[in-house]
Amino acid sequence: MDRSTTIGYVLIFLLFIGFFYFNQQNVEDIEQQTAKSDTTLLDTAKPEQIIVSEDTTEIESVNATEAITENISSLSNELLSIDFTNVGGKPSKLIVKNFKRYDSSDLVLFEGDQNHLNYTIPLANGSAVNTEKLGFELTKKTDTSLVYTAIVAGNAKIIQSYTLPKNSFKLGYNVRFVGFQNSIAPNNRYAELTWKTKTQLQEKDVKDERNVTTVFYKYESDDDPDNLSETSDDEDALLGSVKWISFKQKFFNQTLIHSNEFTEDGIKISSTEALDDAYLKDLTAQFYLPIESDDVIEDMTFYYGPNKYNVLKKEGIGMQKMIPLGWGIFGWVNKLVIIPVFNWLEKFISNYGIIIILLTLIIKLALYFPMYKVYKSSAKMRLLKPELDEIKEKTGGDMQKMQQEQMKLYKQAGVSPLGGCLPQLIQIPILFAMFRFFPASIELRQKSFLWADDLSSFDSIYNFPNGFEIPFYGDHISLFTLLMTAVTIIYTYMNSQMTGQMVGPMKTVMYIMPIMFLGFFNNYAAALSFYYFLSTCITIIQNFIIRKFVIDEDKLHKQLQDNKKKKVNVKKSGLQKRLEDMAKKRGIDPYKGKPQPKKKK
C-alpha cells in the first residue's frame, strides 16, 4: 500500500475515532426525581362528580357505592388503531398497523396507564380540577371522530374532540374550555397540560433503543429541532413559541403539534430512564394554556407513527430532522444522494439485501474516476520502489539526505507522493453517511437477508451463555462484522505485499484498524457491516482489473523514465532550510562530510 493510500486510511481511521468520541456520551446514573403527586380537589357543590381510583379502572361516585364501569370507544384507519377511555377522555391504547414488535406482536406505542394526558385547572375556591380523575361523557361519535364532554365547577365544561382522517398517522385533537371565566383562580388563569408516556421496548436491542430515546422539540422560529440527552437523564425549561414536542424512539415517535404554537414560557420537559426493565424511559412534557375568556379552544394534532424521512418531511415542520442522518456534509450526502437512490431502488426491488448490493455497486461506480487517480498513483509508487530502495541503501541512516533524494526522484519522474491522498478522502463523506444511514433507516427494520433476521440491528450467529460479555466487543458474534474485518485485513495484506511501502509503526496501525472496527461494529446494524464488506470486496476486484487491464505498467514505466531525463531543479522546502540553518549555528555540517556551499559575497 503506497504512502498516500496509507495516509488516507489513517485519516479515515482518526475521523472514525473522533466521530465516536463526539457522538457517544458517557452514560451516567442520575437519581430518579421524586414525582409530584397529583392532588385532586373536586367541587364539593357537585356531589355527583366522579373520580377514578389509582389502582382500578373502575370509577366511583363520590357519594355512592355503585361502581361505574370504564367505557372504551375506538377509531381506526388503514395505519392506526386507537382506543379511547371515558376516564379522562383520552387515548388509552394505540397500535401502529403494518408494523410489529421484535417478538412479532402488535406494535403498541402505549396502553393503559402508560399514557397520561391530564389538565389541571385551579379554581377560585381553592380546589382544582384534574381531568384524568373525571368521567367524560361521549357526546358525539362518527366513523372518524369522537367528542368527550365533562361538566365541572358549576356549569363549566371541558370538551375534547378527536378526528382520525383516512390513511393518516395524525390524530386531530382540540380541547375547549367553556364557562371558566368566573370559576378559575384569579391569580392563576392557566390550564396545566401534563403529557407523559412510558415508552415501550419495540426493538430487540434494548440498550441501543434506550440510547436513542428522548424528547425532541422545535421552536416556531428555528429551522432545526433540539433535544434532551439521549444517553442520560435530562430535563429542561423552554421558552414560549414552541411548535411541537416529540417523544422519539429509534424508529417511532409520538409528537404533539400545535396548529400555531405553544405561546407560554416555562414549558417543562424531562427524560428519565424507566425503573422497570420492561420500558425504556419516562418522557414528560408540561404546557401552560391560558384561559383568558369564557370560551377557549386549543387546536392541536398528535402524530403517532414511524420515523420515516419522506413521511415526516411531508409535514413541513422539520420533524424529519429528528432522524440522525449526520451533520454537515454527511447529512447532505444522505439527503441528496443516498436516500433518493435507495427509495428509487425500493420501487423495483423488494429484497433489501439486494438493494444494498446494488446501492454499493452504484456508489463504487460513481467513485471510480476519482479513485482511478489513487490506483495510478499507487502504480507509479510501485514502479519507483526499486529506485527508492536504492536511495535508501546509498544514504544509509541519513534521513534528511534520503528524503532530499526521494523528493528529487519524485520531481524528476513527475510523481507526487500525496497525489492519491485527496481522491482517497473523497470516500470519507460516503463512509460517514452510510454509518448514519443504515442504523437510522426504518426501511431496513425487520428485513431479513441471508442469516440476518433484521438488517437494522446486529446479525448475531452466536450469543455467549450465562450473560458472558467481552469488553469492547459484546455478548454475541455478528458474522457480517467478522467478514468485514477479515476482508479488510486481506486487502491490507495484499497491498502491503504488492507495494512494500508499509513499514514500522505504520504497518502495525494499518492492521490494528480492522481489529478496532471489529469492536465498534459488532453491535451496529448488520446492513452497515454488510455494506463495508461489499465495498472492500469490490475495491479488491477493481484493483485487480485496473492493474491487469486498464493501466499499462510498461507504458507508465517508460513515461516515468522519460520524465527523469528532463532537467529538474529541486527547491528546498522552508522547513528544510530552517533545519539546515539551525544545524549550521550549532557547528554541524548538514551534508555530513561534504563541504558547505560558500556564501555569496
> Is there a contact between 338 and 437 (Cβ–Cβ < 8 Å)?
yes
- Residue 256's contacts (CB-CB under 8 Å, 6 or more residues apart) are 195, 244, 245, 246, 285, 300, 301, 302
Same domain, 399 and 532: yes
Same domain, 187 and 317: yes
Same domain, 150 and 69: yes
In this prediction, residue 269 carries a pLDDT of 97
Would 91 be classed as within a structural domain? yes
Number of H helices, E strands in the chain: 15, 24
- List 159's β-bridge partners, or say none: 149, 176
In this prediction, residue 111 carries a pLDDT of 95
> 10 Å Cβ neighbour count for 26?
6
In this prediction, residue 19 carries a pLDDT of 45
> Is there a contact between 398 and 568 (Cβ–Cβ < 8 Å)?
no
> Is there a contact between 492 and 8 (Cβ–Cβ < 8 Å)?
no
> Is there a contact between 285 and 116 (Cβ–Cβ < 8 Å)?
no
Grid cell digits, residue 16: 472514525
Computed on alpha carbons and rounded to an integer, the radius of gyration of the chain in Å comes to 33
State how far the Cα of 310 lies from the Cα of 318, in Å rounded to an integer.
Answer: 11
In this prediction, residue 104 carries a pLDDT of 93
In this prediction, residue 128 carries a pLDDT of 93
287, 290, 294, 300: CA torsion to nearest 10: -50
The CATH code of the domain that includes 113 is: 2.70.98.90
State how far the Cα of 320 lies from the Cα of 313, in Å rounded to an integer.
Answer: 5
Grid cell digits, residue 467: 450473560
Strand ranges (E), 62-169: 67-68, 72-76, 80-85, 90-100, 106-111, 115-122, 128-130, 137-141, 145-152, 156-163
Would 600 be classed as within a structural domain? no
- Per-residue DSSP letters for 464-482? PGGG--BTTTBSEEEHHHH
Would 31 be classed as within a structural domain? no
State how far the Cα of 342 lies from the Cα of 347, in Å rounded to an integer.
Answer: 9
> Is there a contact between 300 and 310 (Cβ–Cβ < 8 Å)?
no
- Which letter does DSSP use for residue 443 in this model? G
Would 430 be classed as within a structural domain? yes
Would 343 be classed as within a structural domain? yes
Instruction: Please state the domain count of the chain.
Output: 2
Residue 555 CB-density burial (10 A; 0-12 exposed, 13-18 middle, 19+ buried): exposed
Please name the amino acid found at residue 122: P
Kindly report the average pLDDT of the chain as a whole number. 81
Would 460 be classed as within a structural domain? no
In this prediction, residue 576 carries a pLDDT of 54
State how far the Cα of 129 lies from the Cα of 571, in Å rounded to an integer.
Answer: 85
Chain-centre distance of CA 249, in angstroms? 11
In this prediction, residue 66 carries a pLDDT of 42
User: What are the mean pLDDT values of the chain's consecutive 10-residue runs (601 residues total)?
Assistant: 47 51 39 34 32 35 49 96 96 96 95 95 92 94 96 90 97 96 90 96 91 96 94 93 96 96 94 89 96 93 96 95 91 93 94 96 85 71 72 75 75 64 72 91 94 92 88 89 91 70 62 81 92 91 78 64 59 56 62 49 45
- CA–CA distances in Å: residue 211 to residues 17, 232, 272, 327, 476: 19, 8, 12, 19, 19
Same domain, 301 and 342: no
- Residue 191's contacts (CB-CB under 8 Å, 6 or more residues apart) are 119, 120, 121, 177, 288, 289, 291
Over residues 437-470, the pLDDT tens digits come to 999 999 999 999 999 999 999 999 998 998 888 8
Same domain, 137 and 230: yes
Q: Which domain holds residue 165?
A: 50-323
Looking at the chain, how many residues does it have?
601
Over residues 103-120, the pLDDT tens digits come to 999 999 999 999 999 999
In this prediction, residue 71 carries a pLDDT of 94
Same domain, 393 and 276: no
Same domain, 348 and 319: no
State how far the Cα of 462 lies from the Cα of 478, in Å rounded to an integer.
Answer: 8
Would 589 be classed as within a structural domain? no
Would 455 be classed as within a structural domain? no
State how far the Cα of 574 lies from the Cα of 586, in Å rounded to an integer.
Answer: 19
Q: Where is 561: in which H helix or E strand? A: helix 553-564
> Under DSSP, is residue 514 helix (H, G, I), strand (E, B) or coil?
helix
Same domain, 301 and 340: no
579, 581, 587, 588: CA torsion to nearest 10: 40
- Residue 410's contacts (CB-CB under 8 Å, 6 or more residues apart) are 384, 416, 417
Whether the predicted model's global pTM rises above the 0.85 cut: no
Same domain, 259 and 283: yes
Same domain, 243 and 307: yes
In this prediction, residue 387 carries a pLDDT of 74
State how far the Cα of 256 lies from the Cα of 264, in Å rounded to an integer.
Answer: 15
- CA–CA distances in Å: residue 315 to residues 93, 126, 169, 260, 488: 24, 42, 11, 14, 42
- Per-residue DSSP letters for 174-216? EEEEES-TTTB-TT--EEEEEEEEEEEP-SS-HHHHHTT-EEE
In this prediction, residue 29 carries a pLDDT of 38
Same domain, 380 and 271: no
Same domain, 219 and 364: no
